[in-house]
Amino acid sequence: AADMENESYVIQMNGNGVHHVSVNGSFCPAKLKSRIPRWNIRASEMSKRTLNPIRAIVDGMKIQPNPNKQMIALSIGDPTVFGNLPTDDEVLIAMTEAITSQKFNGYAPSIGYQSSREAVANFYSCPEALLEAKDVILTSGCSQAIELSIGVLCNPGQNILVPCPGFSLYKTLAVSMGIEVKLYNLLPEKSWEVDLKHLESLIDDKTACIIVNNPSNPCGSVFSKSHIQKILAVASRHCVPILADEIYGDMVFPGCTFHAMAPLSADVPILSCGGLAKRWLVPGWRLGWILIHDRSNAFGSEIREGLVKLTQRILGPCTVVQGALESILNKTSQEFYDSTISFLKSNSDICYNALSTVPGLTPIKPSGAMYIMVGIDMERFPEFKNDVEFTERLVTEQSVFCLPATPFEYPDYFRIVVTVPEEMMVEACNRIREFCEQHYDQQIPDLQDLECDK
């Protein structure tokens, strides 16, 4: 036995089991029982932490449209769904030329072609916030721009400040990365301005960035220049960088002006995220960008290098769209932009004016983007527990699907997308009115009446 222990062995497996085999070729039974392999494949912790609140809630809703009424979906933030908002002809020409040129069929640098980044830099550069190609990272849609920005600024255990109500993807991305989300309030009575005191109270030594979405999804609000300056002042006092989600930049209604954040601050470092999806009405083309604004050199080289490294995980956005980008930016007609805005403004006015007189509803007038938020006086609709049940029954009875605002962390509201054809917008509002009139409880006294009784 002692001699055997000093010998060298290899393992040989066959259909009869496991044996130890000495180097001289003789067999002996396995001295130890081998572990029987078993499949034990588990999803990663990151995947388990990943949850899209909209999908989580909408997928669980009991959506059974009224078979006697055509479905009208006011829930999808995709302007192409109904075919009434095509992109500009120049955009299509640019894409056709990029394809037929055969120049853009290969890999591009992970941050995008130099010429395409120069085109974006030139398009968005202004005297107060100059941009060069080195300040532009091209991404697979604005959602990836946001993901890369959060990923480069934040470590697990840190926190980010996110608007409430706000785009649910911020939380989805952050939580999946192990980053805490703190919600700062927007004020509906002030056209969804930021509650600045609340925002500032949330900042601590683990706050990695503030996300500011302007114009807003889901609110359709547009911040004034002075209000943006107040937000920047908060960031400056606490030396916290800003992630500016400006995908709806310049999609504002007449009488209102979009102010990008970067030109309004000389010291706050800003990663501004945008893309082609909304303004050019091509969300499926997946072309976004990050604009790096760092005039005080607070980011230094580390953030830029970090962004480059993160882009190398998927090697950049579609090369054909990149090849068309310069022409898309420079040749799209002003008439196209104006026509889109005119349509969105008209539909927003139709919706706001119609729902303003509906009992139990309080729409908040939008100033841009593609959305309108509508408050529900839930006490007036006692048969529904919450906004999710309210919108479920609206589908069941009227075949109108509005997105409940619970996924935006804002219960007792719902969001309407105003990109549908005008006749559908009118019909949807009529159905919403009919639904509310049927379920409105007039027996509940108004708070105003109670105050008068006192």
pLDDT at residue number 280: 98
Boundary residue ending a domain (331, 360, 386): 331
Q: Are residues 408 and 431 in the same domain?
A: yes
Residue closest to 144 by CA, chosen among 112, 115, 113: 112
Q: Tens digit of pLDDT for each residue in 313-335?
A: 998 999 999 999 999 999 999 99
Please determine, for residue 126, whether its predicted confidence score (pLDDT) is greater than 60. yes
pLDDT at residue number 32: 55
- Cα–Cα distance measured from residue 119 to residue 412, given in angstroms and rounded to the nearest whole number: 43
* Inter-residue contact 110 to 311 (CB < 8 Å): yes
| H or E segment to which residue 416 belongs | strand 413-417
453 located within any domain: no
Q: Where are the beta strands (DSSP E) in 45-173?
A: 72-73, 136-139, 159-164
Please determine, for residue 13, whether its predicted confidence score (pLDDT) is greater than 70. no
When pLDDT is cut at 50, 70 and 90, the band that residue 33 belongs to is low
Report the domain count for the chain: 2
Among 1-10, 34-43, 312-321, 430-439, whose mean pLDDT is lowest?
1-10
Residue closest to 271 by CA, chosen among 260, 285, 255: 260
Reduced DSSP (H G I as helix, E B as strand, rest coil) percent helix, strand, coil of the chain, to 5: 40, 20, 40
- Cα–Cα distance measured from residue 215 to residue 223, given in angstroms and rounded to the nearest whole number: 7
Output the pTM of the full model: 0.89
Q: Are residues 294 and 343 in the same domain?
A: no
Range of the domain at 75: 52-83+335-441
As a whole-number percent, the residues of the chain with pLDDT over 90 amount to 85
Q: Are residues 284 and 345 in the same domain?
A: no
Q: Tens digit of pLDDT for each residue in 51-70?
A: 888 877 877 777 788 999 99
Q: Are residues 69 and 173 in the same domain?
A: no
Q: Are residues 214 and 200 in the same domain?
A: yes
Residue closest to 368 by CA, chosen among 190, 169, 191: 191
Average pLDDT of the segment spanning 74-96: 96
Q: Tens digit of pLDDT for each residue in 363-396?
A: 999 999 999 999 999 999 999 999 999 999 999 9
Neighbours of 312 (CB within 10 A): 11
Partners of 336 in beta bridges: none
pLDDT at residue number 26: 52
Please determine, for residue 9, whether its predicted confidence score (pLDDT) is greater than 50. no
Instruction: Decide: helix, strand or coil at residue 393.
Output: helix
Please determine, for residue 11, whether its predicted confidence score (pLDDT) is greater than 60. no
30 located within any domain: no
Boundary residue ending a domain (272, 296, 331): 331
Q: From its phi and psi, is residue 17 left (phi > 0), alpha (psi between -120 and 50) or beta?
A: left
- Cα–Cα distance measured from residue 350 to residue 329, given in angstroms and rounded to the nearest whole number: 31
Q: Are residues 434 and 364 in the same domain?
A: yes
- Cα–Cα distance measured from residue 400 to residue 396, given in angstroms and rounded to the nearest whole number: 8
36 located within any domain: no
